[in-house]
Homo-oligomer: A and B are copies of this chain.
Amino acid sequence: MARKTTTPCCPPESPATRAAVLLAAPDDPVADAQLAAFAKAIAHPTRVRILRLLAHREARMCSHIVDELPLAQSTVSEHLRILRAAGLVRANESGPRVGYCIVPAVLTQFKHLLDDL
């Protein structure tokens, strides 16, 4: 909106070029949905922050994260649930002491999907 485009990057093309290019359509709805799902998982500053905390090993238990953020425990738990549902984070399910950590492989997959754009 504040963009004063001095050099137009993309004048409308002729129908001919367009038709030729259309032959090679990727159209991978699965990859689109996957990438969108990952993106949605980190589409909130708090969840990015949580990922960073986990990546830097500064917090591993939910209560630690709660200490770092101005949010209620239930809210943090919900954010963790979303990150877990996306596969970006894992928890060792062993009672009241739940340790959280990043799943590097999934994060890498995320990065690859983005790179393919």
Contact = CB atoms under 8 A, between A and B. Distances in A.
Contacts of A114: 110-111, 114
Given A40-B43, A43-B39, A48-B35, A93 B5 contact: yes
B117 A21 contact: no
A6 to B, nearest CB: 10
A25 interface: yes
A3 B55 contact: no
What range describes how many residues of A lie at the interface? Answer: 35 or more
Given A32-B48, A111-B114, 13 more contacts: A3-B90, A9-B92, A10-B92, A10-B99, A10-B100, A10-B101, A11-B92, A11-B99, A18-B60, A32-B52, A36-B44, A39-B39, A43-B43
